[in-house]
Structure 1
Amino acid sequence: MPIRFRFRLIPFVVTVLLVALGIALAQWQTRRGDQKQLIETTLLQRQVEPTLDFNAAIRAAPAPDVDQLEYRRLAVRGEFIPAWPVYLDNRPLNGVAGFYVLMPFKIAASDDYVLVARGWLPRDPADRTRLPSYPTPAGTVEMEGLARRDFGHVLQLGDAGPLRPGAILQNLSVNDFAAASKLKLQPFVIEQTSNAEDHLLRDWPRPSLGIERHRGYAFQWYALAVMALIFFVVTGFRRGTKNSNKPAGQQSG
């Protein structure tokens, strides 16, 4: 029995599109996994470095290199500015909806400030705008935390609204906060890790979280591309075989 392949244009085009889509999405997931693997490697390297006294560092280099600071543990002396809190929404913790409490921190013996994520608060299920109270340390304190380039980005739902003290936002950049508050901010943020007895939770998500998930998604998209190609080839041979078995007068062109 002769084995023939019957080429069909429309299935061929669909197969090419599915293969291209599968490869493109697989490569995107692979790149995301590689990015998070690089973050994990950097985290592990900088975890063994001693905590950096940022007050001394800023005196030596007023314009710090964010690439060198990111994921470093910092100790900063200064005072919180409780008149300018803002809250990042859509930041769940252990499945509970809540906010990150953000507040500027004036660096001692300097006119510079740094934006600090102080911790997490649960959201009131009945009234999104009602926030539980939390104390703010008064006067000069020493605070420790992890330097981050930003607070991450979540899907923006609706208009952001005006940036003002007490605003509830979904995303925030350092530049936007500096423009609204008129404060001279450092070009990075700090996730506070030191305890301040302020009722805020500081179980920060690891920025490299999800490496294996991205690897798994990449495998699935590559598998889709392979399956689409195999399906096209197998069905083509089947149709070719069926047509070859028909009497000559019944075969269509």
Structure 2
Amino acid sequence: MRRLMRSLPWIAGVALAFAGLQLGDWQMRRADEKRAVQAQIDSRAQLPAILAPADAMPSEWQAVRAQGVWLESKARLIDNRTHRGQAGYHLVMPLRLEDGSGVVLVNRGWVAAGDRRVLPQWSTPEGVVTVEGRVRHPARETFMLAADVGSADTMVWQQIDLMRHRILIREAGAEGPLADWVLEQTSAQADGLVRDWPQPAAGVDRHLAYAFQWYALAALMLILTAWHGWRRFFRRHHDHPSARRFVRG
């Protein structure tokens, strides 16, 4: 029993080192998976923009071109969006597609928030416009703030809500469905909006950082286990009777 108790630090150290190595390897595999996802994102970004009808479901980050007429009266501001540390809104506006397939929501860009009692101003071109951007799939939130639940007529929302946007589209009398995706506009337009979107990232660096932490923990456990073993060996050797006779000379 005493021998088992003395061996526990060895067993624990080796087990923790093994667990750290396994978890580090798992994070490296996750990083490889994310690299594959990032490669897909990058390849989609290099493809030329395609015309996509409202009832299509293009891949996220795919470049898309849309032609239609703005439904400016049904635009909504998405609150709590920052740009370089400054608070503001994203302007989300429906675009009734020229091909008659339906309506697409377009995130036209960021606008600064000044006095919260006064809504910001922007300009909207009239007639048929061509908008280019990349596809985003809005998150399906299961939790919403109480302030963001209610009438679709509220001008400022906390997030994109496809259900309430569909109510607005019906009120506008637009024909066809509302697309289940959002076009994040990248094409230039003289409207006073900022379209400095962050580059898409799959999160490879995060998994590499986690892997480094697990490998570092495994290395630390091995070092501590080896140090503990060396101390035990040194003490046993030093306390052995023959060692004491040698020291006395």
Give the one of 96, 105, 122 matched to 2:95: 105
Cα distance 1:216–1:81, how it changes in 2: closer, same or farther (>3 A)? closer
The answer on 1:233 being equivalent to 2:222 is yes
The aligned residue for residue 117 of structure 1 is: 107
1:121-152 CA-partner distances (Å, limit 9, x unpaired)? 0122x53x6431123334x2212212403256
The aligned residue for residue 245 of structure 2 is: none
The aligned residue for residue 66 of structure 1 is: 58
1:169-191 CA-partner distances (Å, limit 9, x unpaired)? 34325455325654621232222
Cα distance 1:174–1:225, how it changes in 2: closer, same or farther (>3 A)? same
Give the one of 22, 34, 37 matched to 1:35: 37
Q: Matched residue of 1:66: which SS?
A: coil
CA contact 2:17–2:219 (8 Å) conserved in 1: no
Give the one of 184, 187, 195 matched to 2:180: 187
Alpha-carbon offset, residue 26 of structure 1: 4.5
The aligned residue for residue 135 of structure 1 is: 123
The aligned residue for residue 244 of structure 2 is: none
Alpha-carbon offset, residue 120 of structure 1: 1.2
CA contact 2:80–2:88 (8 Å) conserved in 1: yes
Unpaired runs of at least 5, structure 1:
none
CA contact 2:136–2:184 (8 Å) conserved in 1: no
CA contact 1:143–1:192 (8 Å) conserved in 2: no
CA contact 2:19–2:218 (8 Å) conserved in 1: no
Q: Distance in 1 between matches of 2:100 and 2:161?
A: 22
Q: Matched residue of 1:132: which SS?
A: coil
Q: Distance in 1 between matches of 2:37 and 2:99?
A: 37
How many residue pairs get matched? 227
Cα distance 1:70–1:10, how it changes in 2: closer, same or farther (>3 A)? closer
Structure with a larger share of its residues in helix: 2
CA contact 1:66–1:149 (8 Å) conserved in 2: no
CA contact 2:20–2:215 (8 Å) conserved in 1: no
RMSD: 3.7
> Which amino acid in the other structure matches residue 149 of structure 1?
R
Cα distance 1:109–1:148, how it changes in 2: closer, same or farther (>3 A)? closer
The aligned residue for residue 67 of structure 2 is: 76
TM-score normalised by structure 2 residue count: 0.70
Identity of aligned residues (%): 18
> Which amino acid in the other structure matches residue 146 of structure 1?
G
Q: Distance in 1 between matches of 2:28 and 2:161?
A: 30
